Amino acid sequence: MRVLSLGHLSMTYFRNALRAGKLGRSIYWSSSDPIATRDAAKESPKARPARYPKELARIIRTNAGDVLVLRPIRANDQGALREAFTHLTPEDVRMRFFGPMKELKQPLAAQLAQVDYDREMAFVAVRKTLFKQEIWGVVRAIINQNGDAGGRNAEFAIVVRSDKKGSGLGHELMARIEEYCRSRQVSEITGQILAENRPMLHLVKDLGYQTATTSDEPGIVLVRKCIDSKPPEATNF
């Protein structure tokens, strides 16, 4: 099973997305090959993404009191994604993409903004201004079906602008993607973190994720959390 990273896109996902963008192709997901490409010109109408799920949008507030719209990503968000990338420090880029990258190229931004809502979900935290919409953070999950009796797991990634760290946005994004995964009958959510990324390791442990290392990928910490099919009931204190 290949997983996306928490705090950065996995090397597999990123390289396929980057390659697809350079070749003018689009990424799609299938039960047999979760990361694959095909020529955009050959796409059939039946393969087009599902309708935009606008009903999933929420209003959230950061620790500093900033009001954001947390909504599913749209294809026309690619410009805002590229602008948000400019607010990542070189170190955060390395943590998230497993290497240096000076800018988020338009072809890759287009791939990341085009989501088949039947197979995956990406939520963006947006601050609306008078002239534009600024993306402060993104969380993404790919849902995999583990056979007829095996249930589902989700692979995820999260990115928060470097200048918005400490705002509580990471917790909000993770809570939302877990809630969404529960609604899709996902039983487990997984990811990877660079072992040196201590803030992210602290975050996932705080959220109840189990951690493990593997000799196959030194320097990588695997994270995993079993999630209920239904959200836990509220407790009155």
Write the CATH number for 102. 3.40.630.30
**Which residues lie below 8 Å from residue 97, measured CB to CB, with a gap of 6+?**
8, 9, 14
Q: What is the mean pLDDT of residues 101-106?
A: 90
Establish if 39 belongs to a structural domain: yes
Predicted local confidence at residue 151, as pLDDT = 63
- Read off the pLDDT band of 229 (50, 70, 90): low
Predicted local confidence at residue 14, as pLDDT = 47
Number of domains in the chain: 1
Predicted local confidence at residue 1, as pLDDT = 32
Full-model pTM: 0.77
Establish if 225 belongs to a structural domain: no
Candidate from 13-22, 122-131, 211-220 with smallest mean pLDDT: 13-22
CA 186/CA 183 separation, integer angstroms: 7
Structural domain including 17 reads 11-142+157-184
**Which residues lie below 8 Å from residue 50, measured CB to CB, with a gap of 6+?**
116, 117, 118
**Amino acid letter for position 141:** A
Establish if 172 belongs to a structural domain: yes
Task: Determine how many CB atoms are found less than 10 A away from the CB of residue 121.
Answer: 25
CA 62/CA 68 separation, integer angstroms: 8
Establish if 205 belongs to a structural domain: no
Predicted local confidence at residue 46, as pLDDT = 52
**Amino acid letter for position 195:** A
**Which residues lie below 8 Å from residue 237, measured CB to CB, with a gap of 6+?**
none
